[in-house]
Chain A
Amino acid sequence: MTSRARSLTGRKAEVRAALAGAALLLLIALAGCGSDDGGATAGDDGRQDTVVDVSGTEPVGQMVAGSVAALVTCRDWQGADEKERLATIADIRQQLAPQDSGIELPELTDEEAAEVFDNSCKIESSGGFRLYKLYAQAAGFVTLKRAIEPGD
C-alpha cells in the first residue's frame, strides 16, 4: 500500500449519507419495476407480443446439451423463420433468466429480443456474434428503450 493508499474510512460516512438517498431511489425504482408489472417479464409492461404457437419448433443453431443458447449466432438468426426465431429467443431467455432473488435484470419480450438481434445482425461481419451475449447486453438497455418508445 502506498502513501496514496485509500483511506476512505473517514469519508465513508459522509459519502454514505449522500448516497443513501440515491440508493433508495434506485431501490424504489427497482421495486417499481417489479411490483407494477409483475417483474418486467416477456410480454409484460403492456407490450403485446403477437401470439405464435411455437410448440414443436426447434430453435436454430447448434444444440449442445439441450440448448442452443451458448452457440447460436447472428448467422443462424438470419437463416431462421419466424417460429424458429421465437423458439430461439425462448431458449436464450431461459438460460439467462435467473430465478433466485437478487438484482433483477429485465427480460426482453419476444419483439424486443427480435429487434435487438435484427439490428445487431445486420452489421457487417456480425455473423459470428453470439446471440446470448447480445441479449444480455440489451437487457441493460431495455428500460431506457421502453421509456423512449413508450408506445412500442
Chain B
Amino acid sequence: MIRALAAALLIAALATATASAHLERPSYWPDPTADSSVSPPAGGAVPHARSLKSAVTGKGPGDVRVACKRNSLDLALASIRQARRAGFRLRPSQPETVYGKRKARKMRRINRALAEDCEYRSIQAAVDDSGNNDRIVIMPGRYIERKSRRAPLNDPRCNPSMLMETQSGAQAPSYEYQATCQNDQNLIHVTGRAVAGDPLPEPRPDRHGIPEEELGECVRCNLQIEGSGVKPEDVILDAGKGYENPKDPTARPGGDLPASECHTDANEPSPCWAKHVVLRTDRSDGFVGRNFLMRGAREHGFYTEETDGVLLDRVKFFWNADYGHLSFTTDHNVVQNCDGFGSGDAVVYPGAAPQTGEFRDESFYPEQRYNTVIRRCDLHGSAMGYSGSMGNSTRVTHNNIYGNANGLTTDTISAGGHPGFPADGMKIDHNWFYANNLDVYREDNPFEALVPQPVGTGFWWAGNNDGNFSDNWVFDNWRQGTMLVAIPDAVAGTPEGEADQQTQCPTSDGSLVYSTSCANEYFGNHMGQVPPGFQPHEGLDLFGNKTSLDGSADTAPNGVDFWWDEATPNTGNCWYDNVGSDGTRDTLTADPPIGPTEGESMPGFLPENCETSMGSAPGYTAKAPVLLACYGQWEMDSLDASSCSWWDTPPQPDSAAAASQRRAEDLLEPSQALRDWVDDLAGEISYGPEG
C-alpha cells in the first residue's frame, strides 16, 4: 500500500517544484460586501480611480496631500516635453503614445498647481496624515524614504511581542505588528484599518471573513496614491540602493555587482536593497495605486493582504527580488496596464485568492465571479511572468507574457498561510505567450532565481480545476507551449483552513484524495503562429533571452504545443478547436499526440471531448522517468538525471539540436527501482476504462 501511495506521490511531486508560495500570517478573505461605515462605502467592488485633474479642482471626497522633491516640477515639465516631442511607451510591447498640444498643456497646468500645494517630502508621512477617502499625489522624482530606511528590521517594539502563531505553530508578524512597526519591513506602509484586538489564539479553519475580534474600523479606506507624471517611471518608489545611475528607472540595484553579492545575512546590510517591500497596503479596502514605479525590494514591490477592493493601474515593478506584485487573500482586485521585470520568482502573484468559483460558499459569495483580474500587462524578464499558489477564480487576460523562464505558473500547493485548496476557476484568455526561453540559471543572470523552472515554457498548470485557457496566442516557447500536471492532495500538503467540500474531480467526493487537475479546457488557441501585426519589441531579448521572432516569419513553433502528464485519475481535461502554425488542427503538436478524429477523446491521444476525457495509465507511466529524472536530480542523487535538460534554454524547435535532444530523452532509461515504482503506479492506480 505504501508503495502505491508513494508511486502516486512521486509523479505529482514533480509539480511541487512549481510552488512559488511564500510564508505568511494566517490570513482571511475579507467580507466581500461594501463597508458602509465610511462614505462612499469601501470595498464590495473594484474601486474607481479619481482623475488627476480632480486632485487640483478638489472635486470628490477626501483631502489631497501632495508629495514632491525640490525639482519635481522641472522633472514633470521635461517629461511632458518629451511626451509631446517623441512620445513614450507605457509597456515595451505597445506602440508609443505621443501627447497632443491640449494634453501637454493640461498636464503642465496640473503639475504647476500641484507644486504649489506640495507639503510633503515623504510619502509615508503623507500616508500617516491621511484618512478615509483621502488621496496622495506624488510629483515626479525618486522617493527613497530616508526615515523608513532607518527603521530597524525586527524592531524590538514589535518583535517578538506582536508575533502571532500560525497554523504550523510557528511565529509570523501579526496585523498589529505591521501597523505598529510599519517600516520594519516596508518602505511605505498603508494601515487600512485600526488594530482592534489580538489575533485568535489559533487560526480559525473557516477563512471566510476576518475575525471580528481583530477587525478594526476603516482608518485609511478608499485611499488613492498616484503619480502626477506622464508615465509611471516619472515617480520612482525606491527600496534599492547601490545603483550606477539611480535616476534611470531601469537601473539595477547594486549596479554591476553579481546577483549573488546582493544577498547578505541579517548582520550585514545588503549592497543592493534597503527594504523588503516597497509599498505594502494591509486591510486597505478600496485602495487605488496609479502611475508609479516600485523598484528594488529585497522581497516584493507591491504587497497587499486581506484587502477588499484594490486597483493598480499604470504601475511598474522593476527589480524586486521575489515578486514584483503580491496580492494575498484579496478580493475585487485588478492590476492593469502594468509592466515588470527582474524578479526571481514572478512579476505578479495573486495568491490565496478567494473561493468565488463554482463551489464557493454561496452565503458568503452569492455570485460566481472572478475576484482578481490581471490585464494589459507586460510580464517579462523574470523566472516567471505570473505565479500564484491557490489562485482561485483569477482571470488573466490581454497580457503580453514573454522573455521569462516560464511564462505563467499556478499551483495548488498548500504552502503555509495559503487558504483555498484546491485552486479552481481560473480563466486565461486573449494573452500572448511568447519567447519564454530565458535561462535564469546561468551564472551571470542579473537576478537570482528562487525556484527551479523548466526553461522554455509558456504556461504550466499544476493542480488547477475548472480552468479555461482560451483564445491565446502561444508561440516561440522552445520547450513547451503549455503544460498540465496533476497534484494529488497528499503532495499538495495540509490545506490551510478548510478545504472545499466539493471539487470538480470525481474522486474528491468524500475522500479528497485526488481533488486537483480536473475539468480544464483549452480551446480557441493559436499555437506556433505569430499574431498578425506582431513586431519584435524592446525587452524581448532582455538579459539575453533567446527568440526566433525577428519579424520575418508568421510562424514560430513551440517545442510542443500541448503537454499533459495524462494522470490516470483526472477527468474532464480537454483540448479542442485549437489551431497550429498553419491555422488548422493538422499542425498542432502535442504529447500525447493529437488524435485521428477531431472532437473525440481516444486512448493514447490528447482528449478533445471533455465529457469522456480521462487520464491514461500507459501515458502517465511513460512520462514519469523523464519528469522524475529532471526533478529527482535536485532532490536525490540516486535518481537518474543525466538526460534532463530543463535548466538550460532548449534548442530552437525544428533544429537539428532539438531533434538530438529529443532522441536523448527518448533513450532515457530509469533505474530498475524507478521502473518498479512506475509499474506499481500503472498497476495499482488504474481508474475507469484503461487508457
Question: Do chains A and B interact in one complex?
Answer: yes
A102 at the interface (CB under 8 A from B): yes
B260 touching A6 by the CB < 8 A rule? no
A81 neighbours in B (Cβ, 8 Å) = none
Residues 45-99 (chain A) with a chain B CB within 8 angstroms: 60-67, 69-71, 73, 75-76, 94-99
A64 touching B494 by the CB < 8 A rule? no
B413 neighbours in A (Cβ, 8 Å) = 136
B443 at the interface (CB under 8 A from A): yes
**What does the 1/0 interface line of A97-126 toward B look like (CB < 8 Å)?**
111111111000000000110011001111
B569 neighbours in A (Cβ, 8 Å) = 19, 22
B362 at the interface (CB under 8 A from A): no
B631 neighbours in A (Cβ, 8 Å) = 137, 141
CA A83 – CA B677 in complex, angstroms?
Answer: 36
B73 at the interface (CB under 8 A from A): no
B383 to chain A, nearest CB (A): 10
**A137 in complex: contacting residue of B16, B185, B441, CB < 8 Å:** B16
A97 neighbours in B (Cβ, 8 Å) = 168-169
Number of A-B contacts (CB under 8 A): 265
A4 touching B609 by the CB < 8 A rule? yes
A6-B519, A6-B611, A98-B167 known; A103 vs B492 contact (CB < 8 Å):
yes
**B2 in complex: contacting residue of A103, A116, A132, A147, CB < 8 Å:** A147
B121 at the interface (CB under 8 A from A): no
B21, B260, B265, B609: most-surrounded residue (chain A CB, <10 A) = B265
Residues 596-637 (chain B) with a chain A CB within 8 angstroms: 599, 608-612, 614, 631-637
B449 at the interface (CB under 8 A from A): yes
B637 touching A119 by the CB < 8 A rule? yes
A100 neighbours in B (Cβ, 8 Å) = 167, 205, 494
* Residue of B whose beta carbon sits closest to that of A7: B611
* Residue of B whose beta carbon sits closest to that of A16: B506
A23 neighbours in B (Cβ, 8 Å) = 507, 511, 513-514
Question: How many residues belonging to A are interface residues under a CB distance threshold of 8 Å?
Answer: 78
CA A102 – CA B506 in complex, angstroms?
Answer: 19
**B154 in complex: contacting residue of A28, A65, A98, CB < 8 Å:** A65
B542 at the interface (CB under 8 A from A): no
B349 to chain A, nearest CB (A): 14
CA A26 – CA B490 in complex, angstroms?
Answer: 9
B27 at the interface (CB under 8 A from A): no
B168 neighbours in A (Cβ, 8 Å) = 94-99
B635 touching A8 by the CB < 8 A rule? no
B307 at the interface (CB under 8 A from A): no
**A61 in complex: contacting residue of B6, B166, B265, B450, CB < 8 Å:** B265
CA A32 – CA B492 in complex, angstroms?
Answer: 19
B367 neighbours in A (Cβ, 8 Å) = none
Residues 471-519 (chain B) with a chain A CB within 8 angstroms: 488-496, 499, 504, 506-507, 509, 511-514, 519
CA A149 – CA B514 in complex, angstroms?
Answer: 26
CA A75 – CA B13 in complex, angstroms?
Answer: 24
B210 at the interface (CB under 8 A from A): no
CA A61 – CA B268 in complex, angstroms?
Answer: 11
A8-B611, A23-B514, A119-B635 known; A96 vs B416 contact (CB < 8 Å):
yes
**B449 in complex: contacting residue of A129, A134, A136, A147, CB < 8 Å:** A129
B185, B344, B451, B636: most-surrounded residue (chain A CB, <10 A) = B636
* Residue of A whose beta carbon sits closest to that of B413: A136
* Residue of A whose beta carbon sits closest to that of B449: A128
B611 touching A147 by the CB < 8 A rule? no
CA A23 – CA B505 in complex, angstroms?
Answer: 12
Q: Which of B188-196, B237-245, B681-689 contacts A (4 or more CB under 8 A)?
A: B681-689
B442 at the interface (CB under 8 A from A): yes
B172 at the interface (CB under 8 A from A): yes
Q: Provide a sorted-by-A list of 10 A–B residue pairs whose CB atoms are within 8 angstroms.
A: A18-B687, A25-B5, A32-B2, A94-B168, A119-B635, A123-B634, A125-B449, A128-B260, A143-B5, A147-B3
Per CB-CB distance, the 8 closest pairs between chain A and chain B, nearest first, are A128-B448, A140-B13, A29-B5, A98-B494, A143-B6, A140-B491, A29-B1, A137-B16
* Besides A24-B511, A64-B154, A95-B168, 14 new A-B residue pairs in contact (Cβ under 8 A), listed by A number: A23-B507, A67-B23, A70-B23, A95-B170, A103-B494, A123-B633, A129-B452, A133-B450, A133-B451, A136-B16, A137-B17, A140-B9, A140-B490, A141-B631
Chain B residues near A (Cβ < 8 Å): 1-10, 12-13, 16-17, 19-23, 153-154, 159-160, 163, 166-173, 177, 185, 205, 259-260, 263-266, 276, 299, 344, 413, 415-416, 440-443, 445, 448-452, 488-496, 499, 504, 506-507, 509, 511-514, 519, 521, 523, 569, 571-572, 574, 576, 599, 608-612, 614, 631-638, 647, 673-674, 677, 684-688
